[in-house]
Amino acid sequence: MRRVLLVLNTGSSSIKFALHDARDHACIARGAIEGIGRAPCLTLRNAQGVQSLHPREGADDTAALIDWLLGTLASQLGPMDMVAAGHRVVHGGRDYSGPVVVSHSVMAKLQALCPWAPDHQPYNLAGIHAVARRWPNTVQIACFDTAFHRTRPRVAQLFALPRALSDEGILRYGFHGLSYDHIAGRMLNVLGERVAQGKVIVAHLGSGASLCAMQNAQSVDTTMGFTALDGLMMGTRCGQIDPGVLLHLMRKKGLDADALTRLLGRESGLLGVSGISPDMRELLASPAPEAAEAVTLFVHMIVRQIGALTAVLGGLDALVFTGGIGERSAVIRARVMVSLNWLGLIHDEGANSAHKTLISTPESSVVAAMIPTDEEGVIFRAMLTFSP
């Protein structure tokens, strides 16, 4: 029976995974379930090639899909001795600033954070439960999206609320930390030491989207806050909004907490503005003016927040794109970069269209780059420090 290590990365619209041999750490298989909530499909890559598999009828929510995925891996790859499993967990709150071995007490704390990340945390924990049911003796490691941002100064973590609420933990936590951790580790090779240690903004653009301002490859500020709803416009999330709008919707429209959760997290963003789709590829291909307006608003919010973070940093040496949209959409990258000409950023149209790593011209005052993220790699490396 093959001894293996599992990495499970449950996001808002996909479940990514990787299986490694526990002896030599070679990757045995990797892939993702995408299209959750619409038409989920598993893409499985291993030595035999690439397969597209569809879940059984009824396995259409994230928790059910995780369980189906684990069963499919076992049936497709043969009997496995699961030595350890590493998981992306969105919210670590104030208690966790680095990876941790999952125990009953840890799970209790993470469960208590579910209301702070209702569209992510329950599914992250569902993955831990699913592994424990199938392989009860497996060591499990939780890696937190919030941990990377713990280096920020206190002022960048505070809301202008009564101190007692801040003391209870109502703070700006920030997310996408596993992605930013990977990019921070790659910047030295891509950008060179001077730029990588300088003033850098990383744009993680995907179904979930955020920006992180870094100096010395550490988080200084970020656009997401107490929850993953804040900051940029996203696939189905509204991003930054006047809290007075929420009060208005409660008073005049009778919306309660559950209705607001649906509206802000699942019915807004690209989907809400366009009325067509949360998928940037579909919107860019659509002739509908509503689709064009949604894309324009997406870019506008990115550019506005880059301006704010540039002010926090006191300048900008580099802009790095990552995430599904950031890596794959030359159109969105170009629109953002053109809007930043005032910073001296001059993009290289040919390099950008070809999805090269460096996408600014030599004479550009700001270096622009595209670096693919690898959250699973960050989880895997953390897991190796814990697993037997």
The catalytic residue among 67, 119, 145, 181 is 145
Residue type, 65: L
Helices (H), the chain: 62-77, 104-112, 121-134, 154-157, 163-167, 177-191, 193-196, 243-252, 257-266, 269-274, 280-285, 289-313, 323-328, 330-338, 349-353, 375-384
State the residue for tokens 């429209």: 253
306 exposed, middle or buried (CB, 10 Å; 0-12, 13-18, 19+)? buried
Contact 191, 308 (CB under 8 A): no
Strands 27-34 and 14-21: antiparallel
Instruction: Give me the phi and psi of 218, to 5 degrees please.
Output: -125, 150
Any idea what the Cα angle at residue 187 is, between residues 304 and 301, rounded to 5°?
10
Which tokens belong to 199?
């003033």
Rounded distance, CA 68 to CA 54, Å?
Answer: 10
3-state helix, strand, coil in the chain (%, to 5): 45, 20, 35
Nearest to 277 by CA among 259, 256, 298: 298
Contacts of residues 266-269 at CB distance under 8 Å and 24 or more positions apart, as own/partner, are: 266/119, 266/236, 267/236, 268/236, 268/237, 268/238, 269/233, 269/234, 269/235, 269/236, 269/237, 269/238, 269/239
Strands 100-101 and 318-322: unpaired
Active site residue 181: no
Catalytically active residues, by annotation: 145
